[in-house]
Amino acid sequence: VLQHMFKSECHFINGTERVRYMQRYFYNRLQDAMFDSDVGHYVGFTPYGEKVARAWNSDPKGMEYTRGQVDRYCRSNYEVFTP
C-alpha angle 17/35/59, rounded to 5°?
115
The yes-or-no verdict on residue 79 having pLDDT over 80 is: yes
- Tens digit of pLDDT for each residue in 22-76? 999 999 989 999 999 999 999 999 999 999 999 999 999 999 999 999 999 999 9
C-alpha angle 61/63/64, rounded to 5°?
65
The yes-or-no verdict on residue 83 having pLDDT over 80 is: no
Number of other residues whose CB lies within 10 A of the CB of residue 42? 24
- Tens digit of pLDDT for each residue in 10-26? 999 988 889 999 999 99
Distance from C-alpha of 50 to C-alpha of 9, rounded to nearest angstrom: 21
Top-level CATH class of 4-81? Answer: alpha beta
Q: Could you tell me the pLDDT band of residue 2, with boundaries at 50, 70 and 90? A: confident
